[in-house]
Each structure stands twice: as C-alpha cells, then as structure tokens.
Amino acid sequence: MVLEDHEMPNGWPLGLGNLNMRLRVTESLHPAETEPHPLHTPSSSCSSFSSSNLDTEKSKTHAFPGGVCPSVGVGGHFIGAGYGNLMRKHGLSVDNIIDAQLVDVNGKILNRKSMGEDHFWAIRGGGASFGVILSWKIKLVSVPEVVTFFLVKKLIKQGATTSITDLVYRWQQVADTLPQDIFIRLEMSVEKNESIQFQFFGQYLGQPHTLLSIMNQQFPELGLQQKDCIKSSWIETTLYWDNKPKGTSLGNLLYRMPNQSFSFKVKSDYVITPISKAVLEELWRKMIKMGMGMIMQWNPYGGRMNQISESETPFPHRSGYKFLIQYWYYTQDNSKVELLRKLYDFMAPHVSKLPREAFLNYRDLDIGTNQNGANSSIFGAKYFKGNFERLVRVKTKVDPDNFFRNEQSIPPLPK
C-alpha cells in the first residue's frame, strides 16, 4: 500500500478524516488473505480519526481498529492508546502500529530502529512526552465484506426504571463475554421530562441472521430484532456510529465542519465487577437531577483485550476489566461541573481501586497535574499503573530536560 498525500480542502474523512491524504490499496487483494497490510499515515494534531481511511473501491475487507468519534486527532488518538468498536476483535490502535517517525529533543528524525524499542514502546500510549510524531506505520486488519450495525433505544422515565435496571445489569454480565466479533456500547443520556435514553449501539463482524442467533442465545434480554439491524460494509458503519441515517452517502464524511461548538467536562472509570441494581437505580436518580447534558458511555472489554499483557504498551487496562465508563457533562456553567465531580465520588466504591484507574485520552486534570513532578505519580498510576515507572525511565533518557511537557506529561527523574 502507498500513501498519496493530497492538499484537499476538507480532508479525506473515510475514517482518518481531515488528514489531507488518501490511502490506496495498490496490490491485488484476495478475500482469502488474512495477513495484516501495513501503511503509513502522517500525524497531525488537527487531523481527525474515526476508523480507517481506505479507498473502498479497492478493498471492502480491510479496516483499522481506531475510534468512532469523527473529529479526534490521529496524533492524540494514537499516543493516548485510542480504542474503537474493533477492540474486542483486534485490540487498540496502538496494538496495530508497527513503526513511526518522530523528531526527538535534539532535532533528529528517528524511526523505530533508530529510536530503540523503549522509545517506540513509550509513544504507543504514553502520551505527548517523547517527541514530535511525523508519521505512523500501521497495519490493517481483515474484516468481512458484510458486517452488521444495530441500535436498540429505550426511553425510561423516573419511577419506571426497574426493567431498564435489569437490562443494564445483564449487559454488565455478558457484554465482555460475548464472541469477540460483537461490540455493544451502552450510552445513557438525560433527556427532558425527567427521563433517560438508553441506547445500545452494536456492531457484529458478520451477517444479521448469525448475530440474531447468537443474541437470542446469549443476550435475549436486549430483544434485538431484524428491524434493528443494518447490513453494510464496514466503512459504511462509520456513518452510523456518527449518528448519520441509513442511506447517507459516504461523501458526507468529506464535510468536516462541526455543527456547533460546546463546552463539556469528561471523566473516566474502569469497572471490574458488575455494579449492583440498587446502585444503578441511585445512579439513574442522580443523573436525572443533573439534567440534560449528562451522558455516560459504557464500553465493553474482553475478547482480544484479555489476551494482551498490560506491559505490552503503556496502556495497562487489559485483562480482567468488564468495561470502561466515560462521563460527559455538556455545560458552560462551571458550578455544574461540581455535580459531575459528586457523581464521580458516588461511583468510587463500585469501580477499580488502588489505584482508581482512568483512561489517558479522557484527560481529567482533577486527578492530578505536574508540579515539578511532585504529583505525577498520582495521575501516572491511574493512567498507566506499573508502566509509569518505565515511562519515567524512558523520558529521563530521551528528554532529560523535560522539553516536551504539559499538565499531565511524563516527567524525567530529577538530576
């Protein structure tokens, strides 16, 4: 595969978005091929990344396990170990990076071989602390020509939450144990009239009839039906994950301007054991009191994630986790941010502990910031667990004067 670099006014957003580039598969690809196919992508802090950026006229059976948000920068997505709906099958974005080019603190351009394995390890999920990334070499993964996207919605009003509580509790039990070809994200958003919309977004790497058979056996409580399923190519599902209606042209992805700007606060948690029904009921009540703008996304782990060592990359949250929680609160009122912090405090007994872990790409300055390295071990343990010490050693070697730094960057050891 080769990369054609184009100065396109609105980018090329079939997954990699506003990167001003186009990826083309130039060799002959056959359905029976299963080996990963490498390609290069330039890095850009202003580029967007939601999945993979393939010329779909050449291949409908290749993808990249990146995220689904249409405006996330590929540089930040990779250095923070971004994930997507292929994670249970193929792991994270950083699990599928095979080389990179960067400019180090001395102005030298290095690749994987010249920077060394420790440095290469650190940039795949260790944050923006180790140089300026110029490009990434990633491997594509094989996907079926036909996949299934589905969405099940349930609007629940306060006082009538028992049925949804049972369903969410069951989701916690099965979402990480389903076949790794299935990914079901649960999103909860507070709506008007003291109600919460529960949305089960799902993707299956296969045909709808096979999915329905699996779900009827392993998760019948969801009530998934044929009418909830959309059969499409993998690249077309990027539209559905961006809430575009069925029939939307892929060309719609070329339009990269956001509809509006907004302010929000985000936090994260990892769940190891299912949250009890009583706690879920209290959670719904607290969310409704916070009002519209409060959203939670629960993203299941399991599958391939259980097979990768927590020290393989700086991202340590691998085996044994049921799901990742993302808390969103859209507000321009700083006083309301305190409501989210109180909700986060309420959740403390029901999530990971010692440390209470967090996801680096859901950056949260509440958990600590750099003060000449004084507090770095606090947020470092939450983001990286035992990998933080290795990151510090790499930082000390490649950037001893801490040139590349931010509020939550990796500090070097004191001289």
Q: What DSSP assignment string belongs to 294-335?
A: EEEEEEE--GGGGGS-TTSSS----TT--EEEEEEEE-S-HH
Could you tell me if 67 and 34 are in contact, meaning their C-beta atoms sit under 8 angstroms apart?
A: no
Q: Which pair of structure tokens corresponds to residue 136? A: 């990434």
SS3 132: strand
Tokens 């090329």, residue?
A: 12
Exposure class string for 217-249: b at 16+ Cβ within 10 A, else e:
eebebbebeeebbbbbbbbbbbbbbbebeeeee
Active site residue 362: yes
Tokens of 392: 């510090």
Supply the DSSP string of 84-118, one letter for each residue: -TTHHHH--GGGGEEEEEEE-TTS-EE-HHHH-HH
The CA–CA distances, whole Å, from 84 to 78, 88, 285, 291, 300 equal 12, 9, 29, 28, 10
183: left (phi over 0), alpha (psi -120 to 50) or beta: beta
Which amino acid is residue 410, in one-letter code?
I
Find out whether 306 and 319 touch, Cβ atoms under 8 Å. Answer: yes
Give me the catalytic one of 270, 344, 362, 383: 362
Is 76 within 8 Å of 355 (Cβ atoms)? no
Comparing CA positions, the residue from 226, 243, 220 lying closest to residue 171 is 220
Q: Are strands 109-110 and 182-191 parallel, antiparallel or unpaired?
A: unpaired
Catalytic residues: 362
